[in-house]
């Protein structure tokens, strides 16, 4: 369970979640072994029955079942009964919510792809991952091992390139004092060694593990390295996405595309259906708070869920069209994305854990 939580938190760190949110492991023993995981949007009675009948020992959901203050655990209260059934069945429960919305390839990215966007960026920034420069001095011949260790720990990744470093030769000096066991040289004699200054960048959050991996791969007893803060812009994370379609489409065509992609018989549209749209913003879940950011960044349309009457009026006043695909439909696609991510990570580390996408989840809204 600890490994699965770590994979999810590497993708969507817990501190990314909004302050009102409640994410992470909600029920269960973090040290317990897991064989089968069910990934679902919501813990409903049918989803719980599915987990029980499939013999799952962990359920990963998007919406946290323990959210409002939990004041009693009674069998005559449905949400509480579900928690009791989880505990009795030895099934753990994990929630990844507003942190998952910001993660690459998850709710918002999946919705952006459904809208036909291939390139997009964050609509409303929530944070920025700064980089630090890591410089290490390595004796010649050991630079590749150190570079590999750094790359494996998340350093030196720029865009789609890994192992990005710069190296320059120079001379290192040291004098081994009493009690040392030097890799090169002798106690009490000044040594001059041909070394390489190897430099790279690493996200702040990965700096500690990169330093640890580098020291493990370095031949010296005392490794000389520096970490410099950088003023370069970091990697932005946040709410919603915005991008331009390759071809402008009418609002009605965009709505049709979303119906197909999200497999829903209907969506609600605000604005003239014949209006052409090119710049598309998306906000998975209840995204009405993204109406203003979308309009101010020049979006023609915002694709989201749970839009209320006055919010629709606001959008019209701002000249922003809306497609309300429904809260469920705007997020359901990410179940497959999260399950695929977990399968890949578990397989890469050789964990024989099965990850199942829930089939029992349903949009509570029906069209009649």
Report the nearest approach of Zn ion to the CB of residue 285 (Å). Answer: 3
Report the nearest approach of Zn ion to the CB of residue 95 (Å). Answer: 11
> Does the annotation place 76 within a ligand binding site?
no
Closer by beta carbon to Zn ion, 204 or else 306: 306
Residue recorded with tokens 């679902």: 40
Report the nearest approach of Zn ion to the CB of residue 315 (Å). Answer: 20
Closer by beta carbon to Zn ion, 18 or else 121: 18
Report the nearest approach of Zn ion to the CB of residue 41 (Å). Answer: 8
Query: In angstroms, what CA-CA distances link 145 with 140, 186, 266?
Result: 11, 25, 56
Report the nearest approach of Zn ion to the CB of residue 347 (Å). Answer: 28
> Does the annotation place 306 within a ligand binding site?
no
Report the nearest approach of Zn ion to the CB of residue 107 (Å). Answer: 8
> Does the annotation place 62 within a ligand binding site?
yes
142 CB contacts (<8 Å, ≥6 apart)? 217, 218, 219
Q: How far is CA 94 from the centre of its chain?
A: 15
Closer by beta carbon to Zn ion, 28 or else 285: 285
Report the nearest approach of Zn ion to the CB of residue 331 (Å). Answer: 5
State the Cα–Cα distance between residues 262 and 329, nearest whole angstrom: 6
Nearest residue to the partner Zn ion, using Cβ: 285
State the Cα–Cα distance between residues 156 and 160, nearest whole angstrom: 11
With left for phi above 0 and alpha for psi between -120 and 50, is residue 240 left, alpha or beta? left
354 CB contacts (<8 Å, ≥6 apart)? 35, 36, 37
Report the nearest approach of Zn ion to the CB of residue 145 (Å). Answer: 46
State the Cα–Cα distance between residues 298 and 275, nearest whole angstrom: 15
State the Cα–Cα distance between residues 328 and 262, nearest whole angstrom: 10
Residues lying near Zn ion in the complex (CB under 5 A) are found at: 285
Closer by beta carbon to Zn ion, 63 or else 244: 63
> Does the annotation place 331 within a ligand binding site?
yes
218 CB contacts (<8 Å, ≥6 apart)? 136, 138, 142, 146
Binding-site residues from annotation for a divalent metal cation: 62-63, 101, 327, 331
Binding-site residues from annotation: 62-63, 101, 327, 331
């Amino acid at each position: 369970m600890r490994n699965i939580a770590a994979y999810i938190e590497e993708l969507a760190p817990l501190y990314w979640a909004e302050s009102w949110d409640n994410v992470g492991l909600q029920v269960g023993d973090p040290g317990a072994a897991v064989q089968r995981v069910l990934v679902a949007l919501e813990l409903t009675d049918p989803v719980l029955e599915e987990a029980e009948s499939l013999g799952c020992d962990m359920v990963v959901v998007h919406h946290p079942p323990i959210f409002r203050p939990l004041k009693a655990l009674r069998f005559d209260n449905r949400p509480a009964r579900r928690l009791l059934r989880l505990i009795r069945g030895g099934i753990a429960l994990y929630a990844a919510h507003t942190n998952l919305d910001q993660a690459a390839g998850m709710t918002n990215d999946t919705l952006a792809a459904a809208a036909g966007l291939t390139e997009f960026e964050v609509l409303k920034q929530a944070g920025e991952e700064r980089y630090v420069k890591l410089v290490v001095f390595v004796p010649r011949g050991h630079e590749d091992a150190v570079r590999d260790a750094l790359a494996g720990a998340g350093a030196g990744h720029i865009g789609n390139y890994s192992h990005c470093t710069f190296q320059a030769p120079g001379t290192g000096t040291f004098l081994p004092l009493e009690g040392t066991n030097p890799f090169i040289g002798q106690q009490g004699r000044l040594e001059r060694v041909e070394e390489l200054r190897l430099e790279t960048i690493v996200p702040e959050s990965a700096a500690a593990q990169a330093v640890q991996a580098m020291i493990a791969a370095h031949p010296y007893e005392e490794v000389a390295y520096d970490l410099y803060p950088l003023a370069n812009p970091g990697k932005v994370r946040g709410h919603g996405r915005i991008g331009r379609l390759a071809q402008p489409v009418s609002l009605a065509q965009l709505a049709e595309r979303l119906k197909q992609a999200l497999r829903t018989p209907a969506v609600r549209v605000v604005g003239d259906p014949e209006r052409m749209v090119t710049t598309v913003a998306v906000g998975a879940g209840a995204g009405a708070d993204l109406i203003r950011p979308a309009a101010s960044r020049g979006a023609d349309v915002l694709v989201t869920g749970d839009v209320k009457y006055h919010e629709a009026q606001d959008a019209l006043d701002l000249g922003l069209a809306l497609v309300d695909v429904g809260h469920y439909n705007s997020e359901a696609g990410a179940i497959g994305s999260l399950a695929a991510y977990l399968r890949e990570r578990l397989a890469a580390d050789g964990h024989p854990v099965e990850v199942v996408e829930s089939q029992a989840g349903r949009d509570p809204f029906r069209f009649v």
